[in-house]
Amino acid sequence: MEYVHHYQSPFGGMTMASNGRALTGLWFDGQKYFGGTLSGNQEERELEVFEQADRWLEIYFGGKAPAFTPPLSMEGTPFRKAVWEILLTIPFGQTVTYGEIAKKLAGQMGRPGMSAQAVGGAVGHNPISLIVPCHRVIGTDGSLTGYAGGIAVKEKLLLLEKTQERI
């Protein structure tokens, strides 16, 4: 059984998903790939993991870097999971490029190179927005490209992180 929970952010409604123990999805309502990890069988229910995620989002939208991460369970290919693990290392208020992630991943895999476009595909299919900070990935030229929640939301998220107090 999958469980869902709704959250109203300053930038629009969000939907969370859980397997009962960990967060399996977090999307802005209507974003590209919305609910990509959901099956057709969900139930709305209050869960500890949703309470933790709500608390995380309250801190985040308050302009601070949360000092904890709710339990996460991300389903995907080994390549996508490796990219998402790198995303989790991007600090609040900082950005990296798709090319930088590709270079880091190539090094981890002992390969001479990696496609930034392949990294972009994995970043775009991140099932847990914000907590796994795909919005912090930018183009090599500094452009705000490729955010499933929309470029306007990506811009607002990055502005929130750069202009608010951090804990």
CA-wise closest residue to 111 among 77, 79, 75: 79
Catalytic residue among 57, 102, 134, 158: 134
Residues 6+ apart with CB under 8 A from 79: 118, 122
134 is catalytic: yes
Residue 29: which H helix or E strand, with range? none
The CA distances from residue 94 to 11, 64, 69, 106, in Å, are 20, 13, 18, 21
Which helix H or strand E contains 122, and what residues bound it?
Answer: helix 116-124
Position 78: which residue type?
Answer: P
Catalytic residue ranges: 134
